[in-house]
Amino acid sequence: MTMTRAGLVFGLALVVGGAVLAAPEVVLVGLLALLAVGVTGLWSRFGLRNLHYERRIARERTVWGDDVPLDISVWNNKPLPVAWVSVDDFASPGTVVREQALVPPQGMKLAILRSQWRVGWYERIVRHLTLAADRRGTYSFGPTRVTVADVFGYGVATEERENPGTLIVRPRTLPVRIASQRHPPEGDVRTRHSLFEDPTLFAGVRHYRPGDPLRRVHWRATARTGVVVSKRFDPSRLQSILLTLDVQTMSGSIWTYDEEMVEGLMVAASSLARHTLLEGASCGLAAMAWSHSRRQYALVAPRTGRDQLGTIADLLGRLEAAPSAPFEHLLVRLPQRVPLGTTIVIITARDPEPYAAVLRRLDRLGFPVQVIGLGPNGRRAAARARALGLAAMTGSLSPDWRTSDALVLAS
């Protein structure tokens, strides 16, 4: 027997018993009990009707470090006031609301933005909150669970509504500075040339520099002059670039990774994408990580256009920090996914030796490879790439990806 039915029986018994015993005070108590039951039934039947909960995120995407306005509101569009409304708005783990802490539910991988309201007839109440974009990623909202109660505080009706919402937090995008041969990576000397050269635009020779790959040495000119010289190419503004992100930051198991280093790689990829597109090249992005889709890897094909940077930034925002499979599984797919001649730029924080054979194969097939080593192992990664006969640079975000004012690249 439900509480409402028990109250109804109890009230009727008091009314009948009071009438039989000629006890008006008992009849009054019974009538009050019946009134309470009637009010509870009224809220149970009509409390959720025309009661609307809304969540409005000011924008669907933002950049790491920004705050995003979040408005939640309840609108009671009926003549019956609602004495107590409780709303559980489910959100992704890690969601931060500045004004209140989210409730971690028992046995669920979600967080709850819980709010309580008292709403009069035809009344609308809005609360202004702030979402903190303290972590890169995709934050999903919904469903919402709305519960109404009567004046006595008993929960009498509950309804679950889909009410989906999403916020993508993109990584930072920094200027790219290219240090000259005479300056350390920390310098802020800007190059007057493109970051990437077109190997079809031969522009002459120059003296060999330590670290130049062997395939760049001009052997005929070296034999003729007796001095080791390297080929020099003109920069290209029509080149196709695929930034290929190695999110596996440690050698060995793919399930072990440094989240801080991954975030640094994301910032570097976003910064290089902006720099490449501003130079006039077509740019794309690939990574062996889940991106809230069914595919095990993520890929944005190289192209130009005003919206390409936003597309790449959105993908970086959706990428998981952990790799989905070994990096070489992505590399072997690239010849079928991008046009011949596309430069494959590897952004990595580890020694590329585990996938060196795939890189050399890509280079032989007509996909020039350039390695950019980042982080504490960046110099080692670049040196190993040069030893394999590949072009390489080191990148630095000093003092860290959160506070650096530029991505500095050096040969």
**CA-to-CA distance for 30 and 232, rounded, in angstroms?**
99
3-state helix, strand, coil in the chain (%, to 5): 30, 35, 40
Distance (Å) of CA 202 to CA 189, 230, 231, 325, 362? 25, 11, 7, 38, 21
Task: Specify the pLDDT at position 243.
Answer: 97
CA distance 127 to 211: 60
Span 58-67, pLDDT tens digits? 999 999 999 9
Query: What confidence score (pLDDT) does residue 166 get?
Result: 95
Q: Tens digits of per-residue pLDDT, 311-325?
A: 999 999 999 988 999
Q: Is 106 exposed, middle or buried (0-12, 13-18, 19+ CB in 10 A)?
A: exposed
Q: If you compute the radius of gyration of the chain from its CA atoms, what whole number of angstroms results?
A: 32
- For the chain, give the mean pLDDT: 83
For residue 145, the model assigns a pLDDT of 93
Residue 27 has pLDDT above 70, yes or no: no
Question: Which of residues 362 and 32 earns the better pLDDT score?
Answer: 362
Determine the residue type at 56: R
Instruction: DSSP for 55-92, please give it.
Output: EEES-SEEETT-EEEEEEEEEE-SSS-EEEEEEEEEE-
Strand, helix or coil for residue 403: coil
Its pTM stands at: 0.78
Residue 218's pLDDT is what? 79
pLDDT in tens, 71-103: 999 999 988 888 889 999 999 988 999 999 998
Specify whether the CB–CB gap between 107 and 79 falls below 8 A.
no
The position carrying tokens 């350390």 is 184
DSSP 102: P
pLDDT class for 294, splitting at 50, 70, 90? confident
Q: Which of the residue ranges 112-116, 238-242, 280-284, 403-407 would you say has the lowest mean pLDDT?
A: 238-242
Full set of structural domains in the chain with CATH: 3-40 (no CATH), 51-170 (2.60.40.10), 176-196+236-410 (3.40.50)
